[in-house]
Structure 1
Amino acid sequence: MTESTAHPDTSSTALPKAWDPGAHEDELYQGWVDAGYFTADPSSDKPPFSIVLPPPNVTGSLHMGHALDHVLMDALCRRRRMQGYEVLWLPGMDHAGIATQSMVERQLTANGENKDDLGRDEFINRVWAWKAESGGTIGTQMRSLGDGVDWSRERFTMDEGLSKAVQTVFKQMYDDGLIYRAERLVNWSPVLKTAISDIEVKYSDVEGELVSFRYGSLDDNEPHIVVATTRLETMLGDTAIAVHPDDDRYRHLVGTELDHPFVDRKIPVIADDYVDPEFGSGAVKITPAHDPNDFALGSRHNLPMPVMLDESAHVAGTGTEFDGLDRYEARAKIREVLAAQGRIVKEVRPYLHSVGHSERSGEPIEPRLSMQWWVNVETLAKSAGDAVRSGETVIHPKSLEPRWFAWVDDMHDWCISRQLWWGHRIPVWYGPDGDMVCVGPDDEPPAGYVQDNDVLDTWFSSGLWPFSTMGWPQVGDELKKFYPTSVLVTGYDILFFWVARMMMFGTYVADALGAQTGNNTPVPFRNVFLHGLVRDEFGSKMSKSKGNGIDPLDWVAQYGADALRFTLARGANPGGDLSVGDDHAQSSRNFATKLFNATKFALMNGAAVGELPAREDLTDTDRWILDRLEQVRLDVDAGFEAYEFSKACEALYHFAWDEFCDWYLELAKVQFARGDEARSAATKVVLGTVLDALLRMLHPVMPFVTEVLWKTLTGGESVVISQWPTSSGVATDTVAADRVEDTQKLITDIRRFRSDQGLKPSQKVAAELIGLDEADLGGQRDYIDSLAKLTPAEDDFSATATIEVRLRATTVTVRIDTSGSIDVEAEKRRLAKDLGVAEKELDTTTKKLGNEQFLSKAPDAVVDKIRGRQQFARDEVVRISAKIEALGSGS
């Protein structure tokens, strides 16, 4: 394993008394930025590694899901930088059309203004002003997290260069017939007065009413049909009644027409396989302009498609008394009038059904026929699917590939226009005679032409992000060096939206990019790592409504950025959700403190970083820890390469805490106490070597504390630019490992016995160890005595207890004299107190697990945790009771 050759400052006084993250993190981060460690050099001859940051909304602040994203990307970039790669982690923000416009409009309203009075140009100026004043929140938060991004290349989706990329792609796709204008059904927000994307629609169950009413004659002997609906107001837009072709009840009515109760329109009865004859009356009303299924059926049958709700969801253009009413007022009024006519057959209350709501404004969305701009995705989606099938892009975990294919293989055309002012305005101009022309970034529109009012969906510009941020359509050093990017890190929940669009655009421009850069890879990124969602400690999804969200910056302030980062990385694996709570952050903070104290101890004892002595000059303990370090390095590398951050962090945590701190440091104390200067000097180098490598491996996930400790240990410039540990090239010493592990087992069993007997941890007792030589542990007696707090047996030794410890080769018998070591009555009182605590815990958990209401509502993970507590309490009651009984019989 490669070691640093820097000369350390071995004085522990170079470290503060205790680790206080808040006192160091900001200064450390600014130092890294000022030193240019994160600035990529496209002229470098190092191999490239590049990531583009999924651009957060300029209006927002980082939530825990963002923090997970950022921590994992930063860890990957820091490790690759240490491995000798030229790393570009490119940051930026999304202009977030709907969210930003809504925010600025709310500010205008608060000031007694509105955008229509300002006009489009002045309103956009106000948005830019807001962005300049308030849009830097996320950048500050990213610095607090320790994001090692290249700030010199920060991008914004409305920047001039990115806007040029948007216009270039739109023009090319328009000329290729992939972008077209058509009247189709969209998700319409009556509050925002724009079409919105599928990802901005959230579905929830709503209690409504299913109203059945009668079309046709009120005379049962005359032609009539009963239909049912939860959206009675849409009957003003009905243009047909559909029945199943094989439904004998209505066969005689197919082809006939029924009068509409309110509109001067005949309603034909048509037959279509879409209708389920077993549901309700077996007949359905068809409103093609306000229902997706009805639109499809209406298209098949060439039905008229009148839009009966305007952009604010008020009835309009029907010529009825309901014009001007909003949809809910119209619903109630129509029901009232139909009831007066005798057409209401029955009402069912309540009727629970799923309704889509606007994520931004909260109101139910309205399916609405609208003239919009669309992308024909058929060939683009196929290319995105083929890229994964061919292995050009690899999805991690592979188990999510079927979801990817299910999406891209059945993708519908994409509505890309939004009725907003803030965004990339559609570069299409209309002439006085109705003709239109698409204008490229270097073209001027013809005189007298007027530009389309709509702007593009935010996903259009963010879909170009991997290459537009590197200067495309201009091709410079960045694109040639860093494109395609190495990996995309994002949550699986937006796999089908952002990732799919980037893949479609990347494969679309691949030929041109390949010719320009000399790289013929037809994808925007070689790997897609999809992590799960961050959930609370009980496994529930974090949300504002539940009040269980955690602000990552609160954790940074309370526990330090390293604790936040390690907590998230330790729980992250491909495709898996992770649950976090304050206990996890506290544990990670304690881990940082443990590293700090261990390093301080090492420095106090002269830990040095330099050339390791020959293996034969090292003790079994030294060889063991070096070999364990090598195995951990292999495990950490394997974890990072497979994006299994949890495995890498677990390996580091347990090695650092359980093996290095809890065992090696204690064993090293014994070696220092022997007084063998040559061996002590060797141990100091081993101690420094292991700690140096450990800090370097921990740096990607815990950059701040490792920077302070590593610089103090080694005297090096910065761990950020240190070399990632590599193979030691030395074969594992299995004999040394066996001796150390047997020693550990023997010490552990003696400690357990001492604890069961109520001996104080520091209290030494005389002991005789039989079988050490046969176990090949003859040279380990001083370790055992020191760590198990034993003294050699004297001539008058008399054992009061005997334990047997089974080791690899033989059983070692330990005879111990505990006479006079225990205050029996005091120990009984202590045990009685412990028994009371255990009995109370057993009673509490038993009652909770006997509560059927709790069992039905609590997540499985929570119930399992309570069961574990119950079993532990039960075992404690048995154990403590046995000890009390033993003390009683011996008194």
Structure 2
Amino acid sequence: MMKAIELEKAYDPKTFEDRIYALWKDNGCFKPTAEGSAPFTIVIPPPNVTGILHLGHALNNSLQDIVIRFHRMKGEKTLWVPGTDHAGIATQNVVEKRLRSQGKNRRELGREKFVEETWSFINEHRTIISNQLSRIGASVDWSRERFTLDEGLSRSVRDVFVTLYERDLMYKGNYLVNWCPSCGTALADDEVEHEDTPGKMYHLRYPVAGSEGVFVELATTRPETLLGDTAVAVHPEDERYAHLIGKMVKLPLTDREIPVVADTYVDRAFGTGVVKITPAHDPNDWEVAKRHDLQVINILTPDGKLNDEVPQKYRGLSVAEARKIVLEDLVAGDYFIKDEKITHAVGHCYRCHTVIEPFLSEQWFVRMKPLAEKALTSWRNGEIVFYPKKWENTYQRWLENIRDWCVSRQLWWGHRIPAWTCKSCGKLTVAREDPSCCPHCGSKEMDQDSDVLDTWFSSWLWPFSTLGWENNSCTTPDYKTFYPTTALISAYDIIFFWVSRMIMAGLEFTGKAPFRDICMHGLIRDKQGRKMSKSLGNGLDPLELVDEFGADALKFTLAYMCAQGQDLLVDKESFKMGSKFANKVWNASRYILMNLEGRSLVVNPPLLPADKWIISRLNGAAKAMEEAFLSYRFNDASSTAYEYFWNDFCDWYVEATKLSMRSGDDSDQAAAEKDRATTVLLTVLAESLRLLHPLLPFVTEEIYSRLPLEIRGESLLITAPYPEYKKEKEDPEAEGDFGFLKDLVRMIRTLRSECTVNPDKKIRVTVRMPSGGRIGFLKENAALVKLLAGLGELEIAEAAAGGEKPAGSIGLAGAGFEAFVHIAEAVDTAALKQKFAKELEKDKKFIGGLESKLANENFLKNAPPELVEGEKRKLADALDRTGKLESWLRDMA
């Protein structure tokens, strides 16, 4: 015989979540131990080592954890690789800021000491990220944790750089790059965030050389850059300026003359049809300059000040300072015509938010077109699949229009570029190992390139470098077993930064796409649809949410709200839903376990209709959730779990079992029925906990560990088998029968509520049904109906529908039955009529307002479609309710 098992009365995740996580970790549950099975592998999108997890990280890692736990329970050799990114720009910024607070700077320290200081800082912070991932329940294999500056990963980065150089896919050249004056480094195109910013369009006149009093008018948003102009351009077919092509114009505020060139880049219908060409500070002008072999004059220093290429007066000024003085001088020289307010897109650094300057600089680039072609072919061949599919269009469009990738960064923190220039012969050497001397002339005087590689250069190798790949002949066990990985789960905003590049790198260096499934989830936003940020003060700290609601509540809420292709609109209140669901699981389990006293388990217990129904429902839920997990529909899996456990299991099945458990009869027959019911109930509970585990891992593991050993077996829940859908468990007859019973009970409960019948009041109901059908089932389960509907008496009559209504009753019509609730025996019918009449009048006014709104053409034309549909649903619901009220009033007439 069993004893009652005590769960604490109040659900308090603080009392067990840390303990449970340590239990999993200590027992090696996160390691891929399943033998003989196909591997399922995910590599974590590595968070920046300098930061702390924000809610976006919590979402991303929660979704990965759900998938990993599901596949682990399916018996697959499951590996989730954790790690962090060295985050070149971000980390250097943080360390420099810390040095400044100590009255130091990196130049004083020197490169070697600065890198040492940065490593010290990194070692302090790496454990912070690890602890945070543990707090939210991430079941990663900590024994395989990696860092993008690990020795092995650094070797793979170096090998890839050299290989690209050998394949003529890496080159160095003077190009116009995106320059952040604050960070002092180049940025790739997709590291620039464009924001609509208020500005002005300045209209200027440039005098035509040799033609007194003749000018060309043009407009610019950046008058200070005219100091770097090397031409003005017009459209070759613009008759207004045909006579000027080939002539020279005087460049205001300088002693230079620049040519008028003809180029189809110019939009003759825009503005005056004349464009100033500043090749070193505008990407379009750079292309024009290449076509016309124009001079390229860089007027900026790396820190964003005007250099010696401009007149003495403007040297050393910041861009903002120069603009002000240049405008004053243009006005004084009669070159200024007017200005007009505009809003235009301005590029900002994705890290420090400084305005980006187009800047001519010598940099290292990767030729992306050949790599992009392979990535497009892999997608077209079905080797990679996007969830949802709409992101395929974004992927295709970006790869088809890709530009070469600037990979050098003017930083000290990161992977040093493996290139050396000989001081003697001036030749360049790119090598996998540090050269002891110049291979061209033998000189030992060689300087290594001072730049480091873009952080994303190590990240694009992440799926295979983390598994031990270091070169093209890699044979490490992890690489051979787990590569290619199975799935990537990532926010859609890094599809360019990371996702596409990983596919290109994987195909180029391993010959295989690095993963098959690409799940792109939405971004976390506040209830107003705004991105969460410090400046708006609308961010939510996931660890504070864990402290208040628990890690399960965090995970379940995020999954429940994560519909494919949509952003998540959340606030702190949102997480109460997950907390309430975890609490429901706790309380239902607590009720079951505290009623085990004196009970014995039964082998192969016979099943009642309610048992057959819940087993069929559980089987259906397992099928639906597996399909949802396999297609990364997290909200579908979560809503299925919620509906099954809260509605089917708790509200109906557990309530139904009380008929067996509450018997006051001490007979052997009553005891045997309690043992039978207890056995089935515990078995279903155990399987339900396995069903819910990927979504609520902590609370389900804690409860599962309290179940009798005969029910749960020896294993921890994390490694227990996931419920498997079986065709033979489908029971349409049981679902139909119990569904009929639920409909009857639900209709009676609804009427009781509408009539405000006291919950303790036992009422009388008469049910009429034609012969055949489910009348036999209803008679056999009359006691269950009485229990669930709170009836004192249930009369079941075999009769055709449409007979005379019993006096003092309200009729309810269902599929194949009529039910008459003897309401006059339970309430004051005169008062009830008044109540219904008032509600009917109120509802009719409401319906009138809705019908008027939906008849308004302007509303239908201008309102969002979802709002119109919502109003239509309100109308349908209101009409349905008024129909019921009118029917009830007729019955009481």
Both proteins in one fold, TM over 0.5: yes
Shift of 1:582: 3.4
**Cα separation, 2, equivalents of 1:554 and 1:105:** 29
Q: What is the aligned partner in structure 2 of residue 804 from structure 1?
A: 811
**Cα separation, 1, equivalents of 2:248 and 2:94:** 49
Shift of 1:127: 0.6
State yes or no: 1:259 paired with 2:250: yes
Shift of 1:872: 11
Describe the SS at the equivalent of 2:705. helix
- What does the per-residue CA deviation read over 1:709-763, in whole Å, with 9 as the maximum and x for residues that have no partner? 1111243441011111123452533332222111111111111111122111121
Q: What is the aligned partner in structure 2 of residue 681 from structure 1?
A: 675
Shift of 1:215: 1.3
**Cα separation, 2, equivalents of 1:611 and 1:268:** 97
Deviates more, 1:560-569 or 1:214-223: 214-223
Amino acid paired to 1:535: R
**Cα separation, 1, equivalents of 2:481 and 2:602:** 37
- What does the per-residue CA deviation read over 1:828-862, in whole Å, with 9 as the maximum and x for residues that have no partner? 999999999x99x999x99xx99xxxx9xx99699
State yes or no: 1:234 paired with 2:225: yes
Amino acid paired to 2:464: F
Q: Is the 8 A contact 1:12 1:600 kept in 2?
A: no
CA 1:587–1:830: 2 relative to 1, 3 Å: farther
Shift of 1:683: 2.6
**Cα separation, 2, equivalents of 1:20 and 1:147:** 20
State yes or no: 1:22 paired with 2:1: no
Deviates more, 1:696-705 or 1:193-202: 193-202
Q: What is the aligned partner in structure 2 of residue 137 from structure 1?
A: 128
Describe the SS at the equivalent of 1:368. strand
Q: What is the aligned partner in structure 1 of residue 627 from structure 2?
A: 638
Amino acid paired to 2:519: F
State yes or no: 1:178 paired with 2:169: yes
**Cα separation, 1, equivalents of 2:96 and 2:763:** 78
CA 1:385–1:528: 2 relative to 1, 3 Å: same
Shift of 1:344: 1.1
State yes or no: 1:557 paired with 2:547: yes
Shift of 1:534: 2.0
Map residues 598-677 of structure 1 onto 2, 5 A cutoff: 598-606=588-596, 613=604, 617-673=606-662, 676-677=670-671
**Cα separation, 2, equivalents of 1:10 and 1:576:** 49
Deviates more, 1:104-113 or 1:395-404: 395-404
Q: 2:707 aligns with which of 689, 710, 713?
A: 713
Amino acid paired to 1:475: T
Amino acid paired to 1:501: R
Deviates more, 1:30-39 or 1:770-779: 770-779
- What does the per-residue CA deviation read over 1:49-99, in whole Å, with 9 as the maximum and x for residues that have no partner? 111000000111111211111011111111111111111111000000000
Amino acid paired to 2:765: A
CA 1:290–1:425: 2 relative to 1, 3 Å: same
Shift of 1:788: 1.3
Q: What is the aligned partner in structure 2 of residue 732 from structure 1?
A: 730
Q: Is the 8 A contact 2:810 2:823 kept in 1?
A: no
Shift of 1:353: 1.3
Deviates more, 1:131-140 or 1:303-312: 131-140
- The alignment-based identity, stated in percent, is 39
CA 1:835–1:190: 2 relative to 1, 3 Å: farther
Amino acid paired to 2:296: M
Shift of 1:210: 1.3
- What does the per-residue CA deviation read over 1:477-500, in whole Å, with 9 as the maximum and x for residues that have no partner? 111111110111101111122011
Shift of 1:351: 2.1
Describe the SS at the equivalent of 2:280. coil
**Cα separation, 1, equivalents of 2:882 and 2:117:** 72
Describe the SS at the equivalent of 1:136. helix
Q: What is the aligned partner in structure 2 of residue 515 from structure 1?
A: none
Q: What is the aligned partner in structure 2 of residue 114 from structure 1?
A: 105
Map residues 4-153 of structure 1 onto 2, 5 A cutoff: 11-41=3-33, 44-153=35-144
Describe the SS at the equivalent of 2:706. helix
Q: What is the aligned partner in structure 1 of residue 509 from structure 2?
A: 509
Q: 1:198 aligns with which of 189, 193, 198?
A: 189
Q: What is the aligned partner in structure 2 of residue 578 from structure 1?
A: 568
Deviates more, 1:50-59 or 1:358-367: 358-367
Shift of 1:523: 1.3
State yes or no: 1:816 paired with 2:822: yes
What TM-score does the superposition give when structure 2 sets the normalisation length?
A: 0.89
Describe the SS at the equivalent of 1:762. coil
State yes or no: 1:462 paired with 2:472: no
Q: Is the 8 A contact 1:187 1:367 kept in 2?
A: yes
State yes or no: 1:356 paired with 2:350: no
Q: 1:569 aligns with which of 546, 556, 559?
A: 559
Shift of 1:602: 2.1
CA 1:762–1:113: 2 relative to 1, 3 Å: same
Q: Is the 8 A contact 1:831 1:880 kept in 2?
A: no
Describe the SS at the equivalent of 1:801. coil
Q: What is the aligned partner in structure 2 of residue 499 from structure 1?
A: 499
Q: 1:756 aligns with which of 749, 754, 767?
A: 754
Q: 1:437 aligns with which of 429, 432, 454?
A: 429
CA 1:450–1:622: 2 relative to 1, 3 Å: same
Q: Is the 8 A contact 2:806 2:820 kept in 1?
A: no
What TM-score does the superposition give when structure 1 sets the normalisation length?
A: 0.89
Q: What is the aligned partner in structure 2 of residue 472 from structure 1?
A: 469
**Cα separation, 1, equivalents of 2:726 and 2:783:** 29
Q: Is the 8 A contact 1:556 1:564 kept in 2?
A: yes
Q: What is the aligned partner in structure 2 of residue 698 from structure 1?
A: 692
- What does the per-residue CA deviation read over 1:1-57, in whole Å, with 9 as the maximum and x for residues that have no partner? xxxxxxxx9644342222101111111111111111112359x43321111000000
**Cα separation, 2, equivalents of 1:604 and 1:772:** 43
Amino acid paired to 1:623: K
Q: Is the 8 A contact 1:618 1:679 kept in 2?
A: no
Shift of 1:884: 13
- What does the per-residue CA deviation read over 1:565-602, in whole Å, with 9 as the maximum and x for residues that have no partner? 01111122433322233343111111111111111222
**Cα separation, 1, equivalents of 2:600 and 2:40:** 30
Consecutive unaligned residues in structure 1, runs of 5 or more: 1-8, 512-521
**Cα separation, 1, equivalents of 2:688 and 2:770:** 33
Deviates more, 1:411-420 or 1:221-230: 221-230
Deviates more, 1:486-495 or 1:444-453: 444-453
CA 1:779–1:537: 2 relative to 1, 3 Å: farther
CA 1:508–1:873: 2 relative to 1, 3 Å: closer
What count of residue pairs does the alignment treat as equivalent?
854
Point out which structure has higher relative CO (alpha carbons under 8 A, 6+ apart): 1
State yes or no: 1:535 paired with 2:525: yes
Amino acid paired to 1:584: S
Q: What is the aligned partner in structure 1 of residue 363 from structure 2?
A: 372
Amino acid paired to 1:560: G
State yes or no: 1:278 paired with 2:269: yes
**Cα separation, 1, equivalents of 2:830 and 2:13:** 46
State yes or no: 1:769 paired with 2:770: no
Deviates more, 1:680-689 or 1:235-244: 680-689
Q: What is the aligned partner in structure 2 of residue 166 from structure 1?
A: 157
Amino acid paired to 1:318: E
Deviates more, 1:465-474 or 1:449-458: 465-474
CA RMSD after TM alignment:
3.4
State yes or no: 1:448 paired with 2:445: yes
**Cα separation, 2, equivalents of 1:559 and 1:871:** 37
Describe the SS at the equivalent of 1:541. coil
Q: Is the 8 A contact 1:180 1:375 kept in 2?
A: yes
Q: Is the 8 A contact 1:40 1:86 kept in 2?
A: yes
CA 1:805–1:885: 2 relative to 1, 3 Å: closer
Q: What is the aligned partner in structure 1 of residue 583 from structure 2?
A: 593
Q: Is the 8 A contact 1:275 1:283 kept in 2?
A: yes
